Structure 1
């Protein structure tokens, strides 16, 4: 027996999975650059959130047409892994359609179901390509998507078409071979798969046995290679959400929208001021420790869930298409906030890789180099972006942390806000009246 194909298959599988594991380690390392935040509370609510939002795609169906198309792709992606598992077994052990003998008629049902889903996925893929490139749907053709993001979206859809083509090439030629009694292994009989039993004879009928065997192997190897290519392309693509949507929804903030956290450093200072027994001149517990930064100016200042959010973003633009600031022509785009955060995080990660695991300051930061104050101050904090995101990403939390930095570290709030905060500090109210005259505003 010739073991060379099995050896080649094992090498391809090991290399493909190995590179994927290496890239996963990089992603985990980069996410851990963020500040610690506890998201282990209320596990039952978190599991429910993940089941409804990530697995059930609950929030997708606020827009039914793209939701149904996306569900076609999603279902095909999940169920097709059964056929991939069989390819792995056949490739490693030199078998052919390993599960057929044990499953019998149920095997035909499973593969037929996969074929039907693949047809639906093909319809969805072509539709998505048309929406992006022919219909030019506005939210899919914004400035932040020019260049690589648009190419990335098209490339992944083209890869999906190639994958479906490989599936039907493999199954269609198999159907013709079995009908001719020329199958790879004797005694397996015909499959009568739902689609391939018709598509196979129509496309491949009349071809020679050698050509059929060659095309079957092209489809079989093509399926494997496309899966390995897709697996390792995920690291460079917005399609990481296929994997990260699950942890992202699990670790999402369960607090009511609009509830902001208090900075621990500020809270401790207030408690110290309010404690009559506290010594205001006492030395800090660790005098050599760097003072905590107020807010965030770079990705290392954000918490790890926010960095997970950045990697999970699929650039669908639902957030920006619902943002009142964006809709009225302001510079702010919540999608761009997430894309910029991910790009800066990747830049920091490459810096660490290039310097033996240590980040060397590069005189750049997320604030100003990627996201401008104009974008941050355009936000109305309405939470529309958070409400619309299909996987519970919160661009608003990043915006607010960066605003905190501008206000508390740089005193760089807009003049109107500075005036208001000065009035609150001096008068106990946003208006320019002392406490005795605080009701004068009603006379104006």
Structure 2
């Protein structure tokens, strides 16, 4: 590789890293638009979640066939990137297969393993394309995926197939040139997969083989760099954010909801009015629930950016199954879209000004929120520890406590709790009369 190619490679690498870092920083700022919340307790349990859920993909294995195929794609994508390290160093220093002399006989074994993984990635991605576009699995064919989300998933799968094919073709041409004893192409020993296809290139000249090998090398590494910068705009960002999201998962029992201290105090004072005289004055009026993205927590927004759009949450949602409008996946997608919109305004003007829109109603309707049964099925099913229910409950809390917007049946219950300290329309003195009558 001559000096011009080295310079071009370094420029391309630098530009790719700069653009990725800039977008990653913007996403971080968008996530931090949310309220602060402390999630650093029980570190041992958090590391366990990270290892089992993010690395080990534990929840995926509830469907073994899909899990194995996904693991092939995941492992291939992660492990083959070790080969990317060699390609990057070759590009910077103008070398070719820099690690081959260092690893000796281990090198073809390592590349052979990478090639097996590449084939498995191709098989996995092809299967997922068939499931999405021919079989049309129900959870992958719902309307919230119409347009860009569906195209995005297909682009990712096709890109991964192309990158793996370029990798295998590059190695095949390299093996052919090694057999010809061509200068610069040092003998490494046979590769497991590409070595079987060398006869296909037997009629080509060295010039043609070099053109194929170099062309595939450049397209492969530029494709990887382009894919790196596509990640932050894609659902595939979960391959990065799944790890922190699993670590910061809510460790409370799933049925336990987040209470507000201000509300708890009001209830305590209602039950024990004599304590009101000793209560210090409150600092301002507390804000109940969430209407827009800045009212949510940073963990809610990290959840939104970590969403894989796999639809397992929606497929398990009893409200969605019975035909109601609620889709937990859509809740996460809407939250991410609104965070992007607000983040773009903050990046442009330095602050967020009211734009006449909000996450509540403009993105997520009251009908969707009221359909939720709070059953936690979506939380249980998510492979990367996303909690759509927490967002739903905060939006619903705003509706009820800030806007007094609730179905009539709920208002009757609220009134009974306020007046009778129970959901029933009986005073505390009357509630035990049934027992007296039973003994009569």
TM-score band w.r.t. shorter chain: over 0.9
Q: What is the aligned partner in structure 2 of residue 205 from structure 1?
A: 202
CA, structure 1 residues 223+370, in 2 after alignment: closer, same or farther (shift >3 Å)? same
Q: What is the aligned partner in structure 1 of residue 158 from structure 2?
A: 158
Contact 1:248–1:393, Cα closer than 8 Å, also in 2: yes
CA, structure 1 residues 325+384, in 2 after alignment: closer, same or farther (shift >3 Å)? same
**TM-score relative to the length of structure 2:** 0.95
| 1:284 CA drift (Å) | 4.9
Distance 1:276 1:425 in 2: 17
Contact 2:100–2:188, Cα closer than 8 Å, also in 1: no
Contact 1:241–1:312, Cα closer than 8 Å, also in 2: yes
- CA distances 1:70-97 after superposition (whole Å, capped 9, x unpaired): 0000010111111100001100001000
Q: 2:341 aligns with which of 341, 347, 355?
A: 347
CA, structure 1 residues 371+277, in 2 after alignment: closer, same or farther (shift >3 Å)? closer
Q: What is the aligned partner in structure 2 of residue 367 from structure 1?
A: 360
Q: What is the aligned partner in structure 1 of residue 187 from structure 2?
A: 189
Distance 2:300 2:281 in 1: 34
Q: What is the aligned partner in structure 2 of residue 136 from structure 1?
A: 136
| 1:135 CA drift (Å) | 0.6
TM alignment of 1:41-120, pairs within 5 A: 41-120=41-120
TM alignment of 1:293-308, pairs within 5 A: 293-308=287-302
Task: Point out where structure 2 has 5 or more consecutive residues left out of the alignment.
Answer: none
Distance 2:133 2:275 in 1: 68
- CA distances 1:303-356 after superposition (whole Å, capped 9, x unpaired): 00010000000100000001100000000000000000001101111111221x
Contact 1:171–1:200, Cα closer than 8 Å, also in 2: no
- CA distances 1:241-272 after superposition (whole Å, capped 9, x unpaired): 00000000000000110111211333455577
CA, structure 1 residues 77+275, in 2 after alignment: closer, same or farther (shift >3 Å)? farther
Distance 1:427 1:271 in 2: 14
Q: What is the aligned partner in structure 2 of residue 379 from structure 1?
A: 372
Matched, 1:228 2:225: yes
Distance 1:343 1:337 in 2: 10
Contact 1:50–1:249, Cα closer than 8 Å, also in 2: yes
More displaced stretch, 237-246 vs 217-226: 217-226
Aligned length: 435
- CA distances 1:262-312 after superposition (whole Å, capped 9, x unpaired): 113334555777696775796555xxx6x3310001111000001000000
Cα RMSD after superposing both structures: 1.9
CA, structure 1 residues 4+27, in 2 after alignment: closer, same or farther (shift >3 Å)? same
Contact 2:245–2:303, Cα closer than 8 Å, also in 1: yes
Q: 2:417 aligns with which of 409, 414, 424?
A: 424
Distance 2:144 2:35 in 1: 27
Question: After TM superposition, which residue ranges in structure 1, 4 or more long, deviate above 3 angstroms?
Answer: 267-285, 439-443
CA, structure 1 residues 183+162, in 2 after alignment: closer, same or farther (shift >3 Å)? farther
Distance 1:283 1:257 in 2: 34
